[in-house]
Amino acid sequence: MNKKNKSLALGFGILGIIIMILPFFAGPYARIIGRAVISYMILALSWDILIRSGQLSFGLAGLFGLGGYISVILTANFGIPGLLSIVLAGVIVGIVAAVIGAAVLRLRGMYFAITTMAFGEIFKIIMHNWKSVSGGPNGKILQGALFQGDSNLGYALMLILALLVILLSEYFKRSRYHFALTAIRDNEVTAKSGGINIYTTLVFTFVVTSMVQGIAGAANSQLIGFVSPESSFNANYTLIPLAMALLGGMYGTWGPVVGAVLLGVLGEFLKLYIPYGHLVVYGLIIILVLLFMPQGIVGLIKRYLFVDTGNDPLPEEKSATKKELSENE
Amino acid sequence: MNRKGISLMLILLMAASMIFAQGGQDSDTIKFGGVWPLGDITGEQASKAAQVAVDEINANGGLLGKQVELIVIDSEFNPEKGAAAIERLATIDKVDFFVGVVSSGVHLGQIPTLKTYKKITMITGAASHLAEEAIGADQEWYFHLHPWDYNQGASYVEGWNAIAEKYSEISIGRWFLAYEEGAFGSASFEATKALFSDMEIDGEPFLSAAAGGGDYSAVLQRAKAYDPDVFIWAGYDADALPLLEQSKAIDFDPALFVGAPPGWPADFGESKLAEDVTLYGLWAPSLNEISEVSAKFYNGFIAKTGTEPATYFAPLGYAAIQIIAQAVEEAGTMDQDAIIAELKKIQYESPTGEVISFGPSNIISNQGIRNQKILQWQNGVQQVIWPFEQATSEPKYPFTPWSQR
């Protein structure tokens, strides 16, 4: 990376840290909005990790809602502490995803996308009818929200989760999974001939991203203190993260992060200043950005602000190259 | 970093600071903070009706010599956003009163925040008893206008029994409930089975047009074969016309055809299919004939928005502001305890055709309206057929056969 790119990356890093920390000093309102934005950011990132393999998932709301329900049921019915229930919800959603993934990841493209779309409805119907456990149509409330509703702690929890998911996304970007997922997306036959176990890679990625979605849903439900079929499995938890990832730019960590912050903050801004027309303006902005910025905002920033250094190798590529060189020597 | 990069960052920081900026408090203004879902007709009309009330108050000199302001924030039907809106109204806009809410889910998300600030709150929606449990007892600042779900159920039983008693030709012994398979419809079916347990009840779910469905043929055929005295469908406004179309197609015309969606499609009454359809609600334009307050509200709403109020959440939004304003005037001060004391004594003649006062419900101390009304579309107009003291028409019975329309 050249000097200009380094200073730009540093500048954006500092800006990102300021934006992430800002809600701690901007009052409870900013923290709750920040919490909501981070929930969507986590979903957008997890969706992006899977789409790097070319598998388009519409199951975000289903897994998010399932995580929320499991966590609240564990706390309300079995007295398991909130934080522990979030972890357990992630594990259980991971197990469910492994079972489902083993079946649905034999499907590709449109068939996989449509099948995942059904997750939300299936889990919703189960929770809706399993009245003795889930509370049925009325949902379930906790005696008290996690941290007794303390917005600082709530925001801090979501921020920590977001940082962990950013690290996870970077791991998928910088490790051998990056090459495996990209190869699967580009050409499965070539990927297979290159020694990649496509099915195992996809199931593993699906399980990991589903766990992330389940944990996000569990944390969200613990922080608001209740679950209900209509709010927990709301389609917005699928559609908004997708819009965020598309707006920010796909196939990387920073696109979904930037898209979530911009769309989340912009949505709130429009809502306050154009109360009755904000949804129209919001939709219009998304359409215009997608039409004229197909690479997303991060793609645009890279194009106009950063100096194109050609094919800067990734860290793993660098180490691989070094290894090859030393072997040749 | 180059100039473009610095400019971009400055723009982002400016945008963030504008959103989270602290609003200045103007002591010469009394502020109401309203939270409704503005993308939905219920919230949109409730908030606009609340503004009609604020404009009326200001036109009459304001409250305690001060102008009144209404700040509305969209809940987006999202519990977290609904709670954030309360935080903003309390900490940045520094409102004196909270009003609003459609949706129990959103309200459940708001309750912890409302309990933090304990400002006088007048709730226009949220029927779920879970919300009442979450609020709990001894929250004297909390006033709930909309009937709770059990209040609504009890009023349906009372209403239908009264109608059957008064009009001996009307039979209500055999019921069939077609319900959308989501939370709303299923809960309605469970509640109906429990409430009308001494009658014959059957039912079947359908996929609502609002959720991508819209084919009611199976459930209507089942209902026709069951031959009920009363056929009720609990779905959404999107189901209303196609469900009637399909009923006509299979010639299913039960003696009482009742719809129980939260809202109706615009201009539903203009369709010939609407004739004789019975429904539940808190208000109808026909109440203008018997209530001056209703007529005043109705005309004010049309003058301000250019549209007719199509949902009872509109008069509830209007009433929420007027009730608090009346209590402030009676108290003669902005002292919260004094206003609560006046609210507890209030007898507010509302646009819904009844005098609203507050008293204990199962848990809370300040419950307002307890009864839903039973209405019927007659010649394109929603007429009140029960309670009889607010009735604007007699029930039309039985349902006019499709062949005669």
Q: What is the pLDDT of residues B165-180, one digit of tens each?
A: 999 999 999 999 999 9
Using DSSP, state whether B234 is helix, strand or coil.
strand
Contact B106, B82 (CB under 8 A): yes
Burial class (CB in 10 A: 0-12, 13-18, 19+), A194: exposed
Q: A305 vs B4: CB contact, 8 Å cut-off?
A: yes
Which stretch, A176-185, B72-81, B362-371, has highest mean pLDDT?
B362-371
Interface test with B, best of A117, A128, A157, A228 (most B CBs within 10 A): A228
pLDDT of B249 strictly over 80 = yes
Asked if the C-beta of A226 comes within 8 angstroms of chain B's C-beta atoms, the answer is: yes
pLDDT of A131 strictly over 70 = yes
From residue A128, give the alpha-carbon distance in Å to each of A123, A131, A233, B206. Answer: 8, 7, 11, 15
pLDDT of B1 strictly over 80 = no
Q: How far is B291 from chain A (nearest CA, A)?
A: 30
**pLDDT tens-digit map of B333-349:** 999 999 999 999 999 99
Q: B19 vs A269: CB contact, 8 Å cut-off?
A: yes
From residue A225, give the alpha-carbon distance in Å to each of A77, A85, B16, B112, B155. Answer: 14, 13, 28, 9, 31
Q: A229 vs B80: CB contact, 8 Å cut-off?
A: no
Asked if the C-beta of A281 comes within 8 angstroms of chain B's C-beta atoms, the answer is: no
Asked if the C-beta of B389 comes within 8 angstroms of chain A's C-beta atoms, the answer is: no
Q: What percent of chain B has pLDDT over 90?
A: 77
Contacts of B189 in chain A (CB under 8 A): none
Q: What percent of chain A has pLDDT over 90?
A: 62
Q: Which residue has the higher pLDDT, B25 or B206?
A: B206
Chain A residues 259-278 with CB within 8 Å of chain B: 265-266, 268-269, 271-272, 275-276, 278
A22 → chain B, closest CA residue: B16
Quote the longest CA-to-CA distance of chain A. 70
Peptide bond into B387 cis (omega under 30): yes
Sorting pLDDT into bands at 50, 70 and 90, what band is A201?
very high
What per-residue confidence (pLDDT) applies to A324?
A: 52
Sorting pLDDT into bands at 50, 70 and 90, what band is B26?
low
Overall average pLDDT of the A158-167 stretch: 97
What per-residue confidence (pLDDT) applies to A133?
A: 94
DSSP string, B305-327: HSS---STHHHHHHHHHHHHHHH
Sorting pLDDT into bands at 50, 70 and 90, what band is B195?
confident
**pLDDT tens-digit map of B120-160:** 999 999 998 999 999 999 999 999 999 999 999 899 999 99
**pLDDT tens-digit map of B51-106:** 999 999 999 999 999 999 999 999 998 999 999 999 999 999 999 999 999 988 89
pLDDT of B11 strictly over 70 = no
- Partner residue facing A128 (CB), from B2, B113, B183: B183
What per-residue confidence (pLDDT) applies to A329?
A: 46
Asked if the C-beta of B105 comes within 8 angstroms of chain A's C-beta atoms, the answer is: yes
Rounded to whole angstroms, the Cα distance separating A266 from A264 reads: 6
**pLDDT tens-digit map of A237-260:** 999 999 999 999 999 999 999 999
Sorting pLDDT into bands at 50, 70 and 90, what band is A276?
confident
